[in-house]
Amino acid sequence: WFLECFLRAPFRADGQLSSVYPGSHTVLLDYSLIPLLGQTFWKAETGEWFKPQQTLYKALELKKWYDARLNSEGLVDFDYETLKAQNIINFIDHPGIGWHDFPHPGIDRHGTSCPLNLFFLGFIQILAQIAADVGDSQAQPLKAQSHSLAAAIRAHFFDGEVWHDARDGENLSSGTSWHSNGLAVYFGLSEGEEARRALRAMLARYDDVCRCSPYFHFFFLFALRRAGMENEALELIKREWQPMLEGDATTTWEGFWADAKDSLCHPWSTAPFLFLLESKSLE
Protein backbone atom coordinates (compact mmCIF):
# COMPACT_ATOMS: atom_id res chain seq x y z
CA TRP A 1 0.00 0.00 0.00
CA PHE A 2 2.78 2.43 0.90
CA LEU A 3 4.69 1.88 -2.35
CA GLU A 4 1.50 1.93 -4.41
CA CYS A 5 0.39 5.16 -2.74
CA PHE A 6 3.60 6.85 -3.88
CA LEU A 7 2.70 5.95 -7.47
CA ARG A 8 -0.89 7.17 -7.18
CA ALA A 9 -0.31 10.42 -5.26
CA PRO A 10 -0.91 13.30 -7.70
CA PHE A 11 1.64 16.04 -8.23
CA ARG A 12 0.76 19.54 -7.11
CA ALA A 13 1.21 22.43 -9.52
CA ASP A 14 4.59 23.20 -7.89
CA GLY A 15 5.91 19.70 -8.59
CA GLN A 16 5.63 18.45 -5.02
CA LEU A 17 3.46 15.75 -3.43
CA SER A 18 0.98 16.41 -0.65
CA SER A 19 1.89 14.69 2.61
CA VAL A 20 -1.62 13.24 2.88
CA TYR A 21 -3.12 11.40 -0.07
CA PRO A 22 -5.29 12.43 -1.80
CA GLY A 23 -5.59 16.20 -1.54
CA SER A 24 -3.63 19.43 -1.41
CA HIS A 25 -2.37 19.03 2.14
CA THR A 26 0.80 20.65 3.49
CA VAL A 27 3.98 19.35 1.87
CA LEU A 28 6.49 17.71 4.22
CA LEU A 29 9.66 17.63 2.15
CA ASP A 30 11.17 14.51 3.68
CA TYR A 31 7.87 12.62 3.49
CA SER A 32 7.88 12.99 -0.29
CA LEU A 33 11.25 11.18 -0.38
CA ILE A 34 10.73 8.51 2.27
CA PRO A 35 8.37 6.15 0.35
CA LEU A 36 11.22 5.19 -1.96
CA LEU A 37 13.13 3.88 1.07
CA GLY A 38 10.44 1.22 1.40
CA GLN A 39 11.65 -0.34 -1.85
CA THR A 40 14.64 -1.90 -0.06
CA PHE A 41 12.34 -3.77 2.35
CA TRP A 42 10.15 -4.97 -0.53
CA LYS A 43 13.16 -6.24 -2.49
CA ALA A 44 14.58 -7.97 0.60
CA GLU A 45 11.31 -9.89 0.96
CA THR A 46 10.50 -10.60 -2.70
CA GLY A 47 13.82 -10.35 -4.54
CA GLU A 48 12.40 -7.69 -6.85
CA TRP A 49 11.66 -3.97 -6.87
CA PHE A 50 8.01 -2.96 -6.62
CA LYS A 51 6.81 -1.74 -10.06
CA PRO A 52 10.29 -0.44 -10.90
CA GLN A 53 9.54 1.31 -14.19
CA GLN A 54 6.58 3.25 -12.82
CA THR A 55 8.48 4.05 -9.63
CA LEU A 56 11.51 5.26 -11.57
CA TYR A 57 9.39 7.57 -13.73
CA LYS A 58 7.49 9.02 -10.76
CA ALA A 59 10.61 9.48 -8.63
CA LEU A 60 12.54 11.20 -11.42
CA GLU A 61 9.66 13.65 -11.86
CA LEU A 62 9.62 14.37 -8.12
CA LYS A 63 13.40 14.73 -8.08
CA LYS A 64 13.12 17.75 -10.38
CA TRP A 65 11.74 19.81 -7.46
CA TYR A 66 14.86 19.13 -5.36
CA ASP A 67 17.29 19.44 -8.29
CA ALA A 68 15.89 22.89 -9.05
CA ARG A 69 17.00 23.97 -5.56
CA LEU A 70 20.56 22.67 -5.57
CA ASN A 71 23.25 25.17 -4.64
CA SER A 72 26.74 25.36 -6.11
CA GLU A 73 27.89 22.50 -3.83
CA GLY A 74 25.06 20.24 -5.02
CA LEU A 75 23.09 20.48 -1.76
CA VAL A 76 19.35 21.09 -1.59
CA ASP A 77 19.14 24.68 -0.35
CA PHE A 78 16.24 27.11 0.10
CA ASP A 79 14.87 29.77 2.42
CA TYR A 80 13.09 27.80 5.13
CA GLU A 81 10.77 30.57 6.29
CA THR A 82 9.61 31.43 2.76
CA LEU A 83 8.64 27.85 2.02
CA LYS A 84 7.09 27.37 5.45
CA ALA A 85 4.79 30.33 4.72
CA GLN A 86 3.67 28.38 1.64
CA ASN A 87 2.95 25.27 3.75
CA ILE A 88 6.04 23.51 2.42
CA ILE A 89 7.85 22.29 5.53
CA ASN A 90 11.21 20.66 6.17
CA PHE A 91 9.61 18.34 8.70
CA ILE A 92 12.19 15.63 9.59
CA ASP A 93 10.42 15.09 12.93
CA HIS A 94 8.23 17.04 15.35
CA PRO A 95 10.82 18.89 17.53
CA GLY A 96 11.00 22.59 16.76
CA ILE A 97 7.96 22.75 14.47
CA GLY A 98 5.59 23.76 17.28
CA TRP A 99 3.10 20.93 16.91
CA HIS A 100 4.25 19.30 20.16
CA ASP A 101 6.13 20.44 23.24
CA PHE A 102 9.57 19.00 24.01
CA PRO A 103 11.89 19.38 27.04
CA HIS A 104 14.91 19.60 24.76
CA PRO A 105 16.02 21.79 21.83
CA GLY A 106 14.37 21.43 18.45
CA ILE A 107 15.97 20.72 15.09
CA ASP A 108 17.67 23.74 13.53
CA ARG A 109 15.96 24.06 10.13
CA HIS A 110 17.37 27.45 9.11
CA GLY A 111 19.97 27.45 6.36
CA THR A 112 20.96 24.37 4.37
CA SER A 113 19.51 21.29 6.09
CA CYS A 114 21.69 18.30 6.90
CA PRO A 115 18.89 15.79 7.58
CA LEU A 116 16.90 16.77 4.49
CA ASN A 117 19.99 16.34 2.32
CA LEU A 118 20.60 12.97 3.96
CA PHE A 119 17.07 11.87 3.05
CA PHE A 120 17.66 13.15 -0.50
CA LEU A 121 20.86 11.09 -0.58
CA GLY A 122 19.00 7.93 0.45
CA PHE A 123 16.38 8.64 -2.20
CA ILE A 124 19.01 8.99 -4.94
CA GLN A 125 20.95 5.92 -3.79
CA ILE A 126 17.89 3.69 -4.17
CA LEU A 127 16.81 5.40 -7.38
CA ALA A 128 20.24 4.69 -8.88
CA GLN A 129 19.93 1.02 -7.98
CA ILE A 130 16.48 0.73 -9.54
CA ALA A 131 17.64 2.52 -12.69
CA ALA A 132 20.64 0.20 -13.00
CA ASP A 133 18.52 -2.93 -12.60
CA VAL A 134 16.04 -1.87 -15.31
CA GLY A 135 18.81 -0.72 -17.63
CA ASP A 136 17.84 2.94 -17.61
CA SER A 137 20.32 5.52 -18.91
CA GLN A 138 19.91 7.57 -15.72
CA ALA A 139 21.67 4.94 -13.61
CA GLN A 140 25.19 6.33 -13.97
CA PRO A 141 24.26 10.03 -13.56
CA LEU A 142 22.26 9.12 -10.44
CA LYS A 143 25.15 7.12 -9.00
CA ALA A 144 27.53 9.99 -9.68
CA GLN A 145 25.15 12.47 -8.03
CA SER A 146 24.86 10.25 -4.96
CA HIS A 147 28.66 10.19 -4.58
CA SER A 148 29.06 13.94 -5.00
CA LEU A 149 26.12 14.66 -2.66
CA ALA A 150 27.56 12.36 0.00
CA ALA A 151 30.90 14.18 -0.20
CA ALA A 152 29.20 17.59 0.02
CA ILE A 153 27.14 16.57 3.05
CA ARG A 154 30.24 15.34 4.83
CA ALA A 155 32.23 18.46 3.97
CA HIS A 156 29.53 20.89 5.09
CA PHE A 157 27.95 19.31 8.18
CA PHE A 158 30.51 17.04 9.90
CA ASP A 159 32.94 18.67 12.33
CA GLY A 160 35.04 15.55 12.87
CA GLU A 161 33.03 14.40 15.86
CA VAL A 162 29.30 15.01 15.24
CA TRP A 163 26.98 16.04 12.41
CA HIS A 164 25.27 19.43 12.66
CA ASP A 165 21.71 20.21 11.64
CA ALA A 166 22.24 23.14 9.29
CA ARG A 167 24.68 25.52 7.70
CA ASP A 168 24.19 29.17 6.73
CA GLY A 169 27.03 30.09 4.39
CA GLU A 170 30.25 29.73 6.37
CA ASN A 171 28.38 29.37 9.66
CA LEU A 172 27.86 25.83 10.91
CA SER A 173 24.82 25.54 13.13
CA SER A 174 25.45 24.96 16.81
CA GLY A 175 22.40 22.71 16.71
CA THR A 176 23.05 18.99 16.51
CA SER A 177 20.51 16.22 16.84
CA TRP A 178 19.92 12.50 17.03
CA HIS A 179 18.29 12.95 13.62
CA SER A 180 21.30 14.29 11.73
CA ASN A 181 23.73 11.89 13.38
CA GLY A 182 21.40 8.90 13.12
CA LEU A 183 20.71 9.48 9.43
CA ALA A 184 24.40 9.92 8.65
CA VAL A 185 24.93 6.40 10.00
CA TYR A 186 21.69 4.98 8.55
CA PHE A 187 22.68 6.05 5.02
CA GLY A 188 26.30 4.95 5.36
CA LEU A 189 28.13 8.28 5.52
CA SER A 190 29.53 7.46 8.94
CA GLU A 191 30.75 4.00 9.87
CA GLY A 192 32.81 2.11 12.41
CA GLU A 193 34.34 3.95 15.33
CA GLU A 194 33.47 7.34 13.82
CA ALA A 195 29.78 6.37 13.80
CA ARG A 196 29.93 5.01 17.34
CA ARG A 197 31.65 8.16 18.59
CA ALA A 198 28.94 10.41 17.11
CA LEU A 199 26.06 8.27 18.39
CA ARG A 200 27.60 7.94 21.86
CA ALA A 201 27.91 11.73 21.96
CA MET A 202 24.20 12.01 21.17
CA LEU A 203 23.22 9.58 23.91
CA ALA A 204 25.54 11.26 26.41
CA ARG A 205 24.00 14.66 25.63
CA TYR A 206 20.47 13.35 26.21
CA ASP A 207 19.22 16.55 27.86
CA ASP A 208 20.86 19.24 25.74
CA VAL A 209 20.55 18.11 22.11
CA CYS A 210 17.46 17.43 20.02
CA ARG A 211 16.19 13.89 20.61
CA CYS A 212 13.88 11.86 18.40
CA SER A 213 10.18 11.58 18.89
CA PRO A 214 8.94 7.94 18.92
CA TYR A 215 8.48 8.03 15.14
CA PHE A 216 12.09 8.80 14.26
CA HIS A 217 13.39 5.79 16.18
CA PHE A 218 12.60 3.84 13.00
CA PHE A 219 15.85 5.46 11.84
CA PHE A 220 17.77 6.05 15.08
CA LEU A 221 17.46 2.57 16.59
CA PHE A 222 18.56 0.98 13.33
CA ALA A 223 21.46 3.42 13.06
CA LEU A 224 22.58 2.23 16.50
CA ARG A 225 22.37 -1.36 15.27
CA ARG A 226 24.34 -0.54 12.14
CA ALA A 227 27.05 1.01 14.31
CA GLY A 228 27.26 -2.16 16.43
CA MET A 229 25.46 -0.55 19.39
CA GLU A 230 22.67 -3.08 19.82
CA ASN A 231 22.86 -3.02 23.62
CA GLU A 232 22.63 0.77 23.71
CA ALA A 233 19.56 0.55 21.47
CA LEU A 234 17.89 -1.95 23.80
CA GLU A 235 18.60 0.26 26.82
CA LEU A 236 17.20 3.27 24.95
CA ILE A 237 13.96 1.39 24.21
CA LYS A 238 13.56 0.63 27.91
CA ARG A 239 14.22 4.24 28.85
CA GLU A 240 11.92 5.86 26.31
CA TRP A 241 8.96 3.47 26.10
CA GLN A 242 8.79 2.55 29.80
CA PRO A 243 6.48 5.50 30.63
CA MET A 244 3.93 4.14 28.17
CA LEU A 245 3.97 0.80 29.95
CA GLU A 246 3.76 2.50 33.33
CA GLY A 247 0.79 4.49 32.03
CA ASP A 248 -1.00 1.19 31.23
CA ALA A 249 -0.90 2.00 27.54
CA THR A 250 -2.21 -0.71 25.23
CA THR A 251 -1.31 1.36 22.14
CA THR A 252 1.76 3.47 21.44
CA TRP A 253 1.67 7.25 21.90
CA GLU A 254 2.69 9.89 19.36
CA GLY A 255 4.99 11.51 21.92
CA PHE A 256 6.71 10.24 25.04
CA TRP A 257 4.80 12.60 27.33
CA ALA A 258 1.18 11.91 26.36
CA ASP A 259 0.23 15.57 26.49
CA ALA A 260 -2.93 17.11 25.06
CA LYS A 261 -1.34 17.41 21.59
CA ASP A 262 -0.57 13.69 21.30
CA SER A 263 -2.43 10.93 19.61
CA LEU A 264 -2.44 8.01 22.04
CA CYS A 265 -2.89 5.37 19.34
CA HIS A 266 -0.09 6.04 16.90
CA PRO A 267 1.38 3.36 14.59
CA TRP A 268 4.38 5.62 13.87
CA SER A 269 5.58 4.96 17.42
CA THR A 270 6.04 1.20 17.09
CA ALA A 271 9.72 1.16 16.06
CA PRO A 272 10.74 -1.06 19.03
CA PHE A 273 8.48 -3.87 17.84
CA LEU A 274 10.28 -4.22 14.50
CA PHE A 275 13.65 -3.68 16.14
CA LEU A 276 13.08 -6.36 18.77
CA LEU A 277 11.69 -8.85 16.26
CA GLU A 278 14.94 -8.51 14.32
CA SER A 279 17.23 -8.40 17.34
CA LYS A 280 19.82 -11.18 17.26
CA SER A 281 20.61 -10.60 20.93
CA LEU A 282 17.10 -11.85 21.80
CA GLU A 283 17.17 -14.99 19.67
Cα(211)–Cα(257) distance, integer angstroms = 13
Report the alpha-carbon angle 46-52-57, nearest 5: 160
The whole-number pLDDT of residue 193 equals 98
Q: What is the distance, to the nearest Å, from the Cα of residue 8 to the centroid of all Cα atoms in its chain?
A: 22
Strand duo 112-113 + 166-168: pairing: antiparallel
The whole-number pLDDT of residue 122 equals 98
pTM score of the predicted model: 0.96
Give the CA-trace dihedral at 239, 245, 250, 256, to 10 degrees. -40
The whole-number pLDDT of residue 22 equals 65
The whole-number pLDDT of residue 260 equals 87
Tell me the pLDDT of the chain (283 aa) as tens digits. Answer: 999 999 999 899 999 998 876 666 789 999 999 999 999 999 999 999 999 999 999 999 999 999 999 999 999 999 999 999 999 999 999 999 988 889 999 999 999 999 999 999 999 999 999 999 999 999 999 999 999 999 999 999 999 999 999 999 889 999 999 999 999 999 999 999 999 999 999 999 999 999 999 999 999 999 999 999 999 999 999 999 999 999 999 999 999 988 888 899 999 999 999 999 988 766 5
The whole-number pLDDT of residue 282 equals 63
Residue 84's CB is within 10 A of a number of other CB atoms, namely: 14
The whole-number pLDDT of residue 184 equals 98
Query: Phi/psi of residue 51, each to 5°?
Result: 40, 65
Query: Phi/psi of residue 254, each to 5°?
Result: -65, -35
